[in-house]
Chain A
Amino acid sequence: GENVEQHPSTLSVQEGDSAVIKCTYSDSASNYFPWYKQELGKRPQLIIDIRSNVGEKKDQRIAVTLNKTAKHFSLHITETQPEDSAVYFCAASINYGQNFVFGPGTRLSVLP
């Protein structure tokens, strides 16, 4: 079955700096890669996603890149703000979201 690895497990950056979180997946049939943000004590919420026919997607300060050959995808956050502090989960799905396998998560801390 699918296996998703995520690095780093924790990340601290200064406010205004960029943050990058990387994930790898094992099943080449995976075709949908969402990123979820979970604030302390809250539910996971989708922040951005990418499908296998796209190499990059941007939404304001957030971008995701996908390398299907290497089977890895990354989340990029620019101009980080304190409210970006949360746990970020990547996920992979072989059927467009019907069966997610989540990575273990990255705890991002944005220091003022």
Chain B
Amino acid sequence: DAGVIQSPRHEVTEMGQEVTLRCKPISGHNSLFWYRQTMMRGLELLIYFNNNVPIDDSGMPEDRFSAKMPNASFSTLKIQPSEPRDSAVYFCASTNADRALYNEQFFGPGTRLTVL
């Protein structure tokens, strides 16, 4: 298994531009999570999906952030317009919530976003 796949691995953009991060979960996993990691705030859960449906988006910082999961094998996190304070590493993780009482989250390699 290739694991969780994220693209791009690095993104440098200018303030005000739209940024789209992509994630492909592990095949067969039915839960997907988007995290943001910064030195100041650590690892923060932004949103998670079960069976492609958003369950909890309370961590999404503001309306500039949106996430979609059109099918079981693909999700996007979009920032529009981007701001310098959005600079962070964004991780996607997936798990199989149907495996009773065993829900290790497998993380992707992350996307390092820099907004100038």
Contacts and interface: CB of A to CB of B under 8 A. Distances in A.
**B interface, how many residues as a size bin?**
20 to 34
A22 to B, nearest CB: 16
Interface residues of A, number: 21
B109 interface: yes
B43 A102 contact: yes
Given A44-B43, A89-B43, A105-B42, A96 B101 contact: yes
A45 B45 CA distance: 16
B31 interface: yes
Contacts, number: 50
Between B45, B48, B95, B103, the greatest number of chain A beta carbons within 10 A of the residue's beta carbon is seen for B103
Given A44-B107, A99-B56, A51 B45 contact: no
Residue of A42, A93, A99, A103 contacting most chain B CB atoms (<10 Å): A99
Contacts of A32: 103
Contacts of A89: 42-43
Nearest to A42: B109
B115 interface: no
B97 interface: yes
Contacts of A100: 33, 45, 105
Contact of A104 (B42, B45, B50, B56): B42
B108 interface: yes
